[in-house]
A and B are shown apart, each in its own frame.
Chain A
Amino acid sequence: MHTTDLPPEAFYPELVTFTHHNPNPVLLLDAEGHVRYLNLAARQMQQEMGLTDADILRVLPANLIEVVRQCLDCGTQARRLESQIQDRWFGWSAYGVPGGQTVYFHGADITQYKRVEKEQNELRLKLVQNDKMASIGQLAAGIAHEINNPLSFVVLNLNHIANYGRSLLKIVEQYDKVATLVKGSTISKELEAEFAGVEDAKAQEGLEEIQEELPCLLQESQDGAERIRAIVLNLKEFSHTGEGAQKHADINRCLQSTLKIVSYELKYKAKVIEQYGDIPEILCFPQELNQVFMNLLVNASHAIKQNGEIRISTARRDEHVLIEISDSGCGIPPENLGRIFETFFTTKEVGKGTGLGLSISSEIVKKHQGRIEVKSTVGIGTTFCIWLPIGQEGQKVKKS
C-alpha cells in the first residue's frame, strides 16, 4: 500500500497537531452554531482582540448559521466568505464534516489584502476623476474657443449697430424739426396728406417706443455679449488645458472666476458676500485650487435650503494666505466632522455626492503644503479655512 492511499485516520495525531498548530485560525462549530473547538491561532486571535468566548463568533461571517446549515444539510463547502471586526478582515472557508454534526471554519487574515484593494480602488477612482476633469478642461477650452469666434463679430457688429441706431435717431430728430417748420407754413393739400401719412406711419411703427427703447436694447445686448465674454474667459481660466505647471496666481482672481462658474448654482439659494484682502500672488496650481474652491462653494450651496448666505474672504496671515468659505447652511454633525475628508464619505443622497470632492480638495491643499480646516455648528453653518503658504515670491514681496 502506498502511503498516499492511507485514510486520514491513519495520521490521527499528526493531522490534529497540524490543525491545532496551524498559523491560521480554525474553529469547529456544532449545528446550533456553538463553538466546540478553537485552534491555537484562533485562541491567540481571541486574546489579541479581547473577545470573550461568547463574542468569538463575531470573527466569523455574519450569515454564520445559514452557512452552517448549508454545509450540514447539503454537505457542501462554502468558500470566500468574509468577515470584518475591529478594522481586521478575515476570509473563511467552511467545511461540513460528512455525516457529522460539526462544521469547520478555516480562516485567514486578509486585512492587508483588503487595504491594498481599497487603495487601488480609490486610486482608480481618483484617476477616473482626474481624467474626467482633464476631459472637461479640454472640452471647455474647445467650446470657449468656438464661442469666441462668432462672439467677436457680434461684439464688433453690435458696436456698429449702436452707432447706426444713434445716427438714424439723430436724423429722424433733425427731420422732425424741419417737418414742424414746414407744417407751420402754408402748404399744399398733397403735402399735408403726405405729412399725415408720415404721422400715421410713426404711430403705426411706434416711433416713440423705438426712440426710447433702441438705446436700451443695444445696451442690454452689449452687456449680454460682455457677460458671454466673461463666462467664456472664466471657463477657460477655470479649466485651462496644457496645465500641470505651477505658476504665480492671484487667489482672489481664482476665487472670482470660480464663483462665476458656480454662481448659477448659488444665486437662487444664497447671497454671496465677497471680502477680498490684500494678498500676494502665490506659486501654485491655479486650476487645481479652483477645483477646491468649486467643491467648497458647491457644498456650501448644497448645505443651504434657501435664503442663505455664503461668505468668501481672503487675508494674509504672516507667511500664509488664508481663504475662508462659510455658509449659513445645515451644518455638519460632530460625529461626521472627523470623516468628511475621507474618500467616499458622503451624506448626500445617491447620485448627488461621490464622496470624492473634499478628499480630493484636501489632497490638493496638501500638495500645496497647505492645510484645510473645518468648523461647523448644526443649524448655524460651516466654515472651511484653507491656509496656503506664500513661499519665496511672497517673502520677496515682503522684503521690498
Chain B
Amino acid sequence: MASGRVLVVDDEQNLRKAVHRTLTKAGYDVIEAEDGEKGIAAVQAGDNPLRLDVIICDVHMPKVGGKEVVTYLKSQFPSVPIIVLTGDPQYKDATDFLANGASAYLAKPFEPAALVKTVAKCVESHVFHH
C-alpha cells in the first residue's frame, strides 16, 4: 500500500470527495480544500504540518486563476510536486503549467487508476528528492 500526504484543492466539493475516496483507498492521507489559501491553512493546522507529498489542484476555479494558484502553492511549498487538473484536455496552457512548476496534469474526467498512478509517481519523485 502506498503512503503519503496529499492536498486536494478544487472548488467542486463532489470532485474533492471522489478524489479523496480514491486516494484514501490507495493508502494516502488526504486533505481537502476549496481554494489555495484554505489548503495552506489546512496543511498547517495538521499534526505534521511540514509533511506534504503532493498537491492536486484544479486550474479553473472562480476566485483565483489556475496560474496564480500554482505559483502561490509553489511559493509556499517549493519542493512539493503539483498535479494540475484541467477540464480541457487540449488546454493550451497545460504545457505552460508544466513549465511553471507543475509536475503533471490530468484531464478531466480521469480514471481512478490514472489518478493513483500519477500521484504515486509524484510521491516517488518527492521522496527521491528528499
Contacts and interface: CB of A to CB of B under 8 A. Distances in A.
Interface residues of B, number: 23
Interface stretch (A74-82, A116-124, A234-242): A234-242
Contacts of A141: 88
A233 B108 CA distance: 10
Given A145-B60, A148-B109, A229-B109, A153 B17 contact: yes
Given A144-B88, A233-B89, A242-B92, A151 B112 contact: no
**Interface of B (DSSP majority class):** mixed
Nearest to B14: A153
B12 A148 contact: no
Nearest to A233: B89
Interface of A: 141, 144-146, 148-157, 159-160, 225, 229, 233, 236-237, 240, 242
Contacts of A152: 12, 15, 18, 85, 87, 108-110
B118 interface: no
Given A233-B89, A236-B89, A237-B90, A149 B15 contact: yes
B112 A154 contact: no
Contact of A159 (B14, B15, B85, B112): B112
Interface in B56-112: 60, 85, 87-90, 92, 107-112
Nearest to A160: B21
B119 interface: no
Given A145-B60, A159-B112, A229-B109, A153 B18 contact: yes
**Interface of A (DSSP majority class):** helix
Contacts of B18: 152-153, 156-157, 160
B109 A225 contact: yes
Contacts of B12: 149-150, 152-153
A339 B7 CA distance: 63
A154 B92 contact: no
Contacts of A151: 108-109
B88 A236 contact: yes
Interface of B: 12, 14-15, 17-19, 21-22, 25, 60, 85, 87-90, 92, 107-112, 115
19 contacts: A144-B87, A144-B88, A145-B88, A148-B108, A149-B15, A149-B87, A151-B108, A151-B109, A152-B87, A153-B12, A153-B14, A156-B21, A156-B110, A160-B21, A160-B22, A160-B25, A225-B109, A240-B90, A242-B92
A326 B17 CA distance: 49
Nearest to B25: A160
Contacts of B110: 152, 155-156
Contacts of B109: 148, 151-152, 154-156, 225, 229
- Per CB-CB distance, the 5 closest pairs between chain A and chain B, nearest first, are A156-B18, A153-B18, A152-B109, A152-B108, A148-B87
Given A145-B87, A156-B112, 18 more contacts: A145-B60, A148-B109, A150-B14, A152-B87, A152-B110, A155-B109, A156-B21, A156-B22, A156-B109, A157-B21, A159-B22, A160-B25, A229-B109, A236-B88, A236-B89, A236-B90, A240-B90, A242-B92
Contacts of A233: 89
A279 B111 CA distance: 31
A30 B14 CA distance: 86
B25 to A, nearest CB: 8
Nearest to A150: B14
A150 B13 CA distance: 10
Contacts of B115: 156
Contacts of A156: 15, 18-19, 21-22, 109-110, 112, 115
A149 B108 contact: yes
A148 B110 CA distance: 10
Contacts of B25: 160
Contacts of A145: 60, 87-88
A159 B90 contact: no
Contacts of B17: 153
Contacts of B92: 242
Nearest to B93: A242
Nearest to A222: B111
A159 to B, nearest CB: 5
A77 to B, nearest CB: 63
Contacts of B112: 156, 159-160
